[in-house]
Amino acid sequence: MTARLRCTPIGATREAAVDVTLRSFEEFYESNFRRVFTGLCLVTGDRHEAEEVAQESFLRVFERWDRVGVLEDPTGYVFRVAMNVFRSRYRRAALAVRRALSLAPGETDDLGAVETHDEVIRLLRKLTPPQRAAVVLTAILDFTAEDAARLLGIRTSSVRSLTTRARAEMRRRVVDSA
């Protein structure tokens, strides 16, 4: 024999729980974002990078809010996540630069290596962010177009198109500067 419990509909309960969860996360976000952002500005030295890292950190915390929200100090957790995100981005950028330099033709002197490094960075900075991301993932970090598409959240054909356009733009800029 089974017992039946009378309660409110499941949908209503979930909506109320989601509403409370979102409201408490929003309060947490509102009270802590400025401090995290300020700290990241000091660490990164770049306001835009700090904002991106802070947003990504709070997104990661939101995805785990059911566990993080009950911690004694969720603020410490978000700072830890922010530092981890920053270190990860820094490592990826450093790896991209090293790979870009290793793909460049060998230089005979240190000055030539510095000039090549600077040229690669200048060319990458002149691309649109989607183009830059596609080129870095496929050409420098050796991801397949499918993997890059998954990481960027776009279609594989879009990654190929972005990469093709970016390479054409980079070639054009190299030829124009020569």
CA–CA distances in Å: residue 35 to residues 5, 54, 92, 148: 46, 10, 25, 33
Given 92, 113, 128, which residue is the final one in a domain?
92
- The CB density around residue 83, as the number of other CB atoms within 10 Å, is 16
**Number of domains within the chain:** 2
Range of the domain at 44: 12-92
Q: What is the CATH number of the domain that holds 127?
A: 1.10.10.10
Give the residue from 143, 128, 110 showing the smallest Cα distance to 118: 110
- The CB density around residue 157, as the number of other CB atoms within 10 Å, is 10
CB 67 within 8 A of CB 21: no
Q: Specify the pTM.
A: 0.47
Q: Which residues lie closer than 8 Å to 85 by C-beta, 6 or more apart?
A: 53, 56, 57, 60
Given 41, 69, 92, which residue is the final one in a domain?
92
- Answer yes or no: do 162 and 142 share one domain: yes
Q: How far is it, in rounded angstroms, from Cα 46 to Cα 69? A: 29
- The CB density around residue 59, as the number of other CB atoms within 10 Å, is 11
Q: Where are the alpha helices (DSSP H) in the chain?
A: 10-44, 47-63, 65-68, 74-103, 110-125, 129-135, 145-152, 156-177
Given 34, 61, 92, which residue is the final one in a domain?
92
Residue type, 57: S
- Answer yes or no: do 71 and 131 share one domain: no
Q: Cα-flanking dihedrals φ and ψ of residue 117, to 5°?
A: -60, -50
pLDDT tens digits for the chain (178 residues)? 433 333 344 444 545 444 555 568 999 999 999 999 998 888 888 899 999 999 999 999 999 999 999 988 898 899 999 989 988 888 888 777 777 766 655 555 555 555 666 787 888 888 888 898 888 888 878 888 998 888 888 999 999 999 999 988 888 887 777 6
- Answer yes or no: do 39 and 84 share one domain: yes
Residue pointed to by tokens 């991106």: 52
Measured in whole angstroms, how far is the alpha carbon of residue 103 from the centre of its chain? 24
pLDDT in tens, 35-81: 999 988 888 888 999 999 999 999 999 999 999 999 888 988 999 99
CB 75 within 8 A of CB 29: no
Q: What is the CATH number of the domain that holds 85?
A: 1.10.1740
CB 130 within 8 A of CB 162: yes
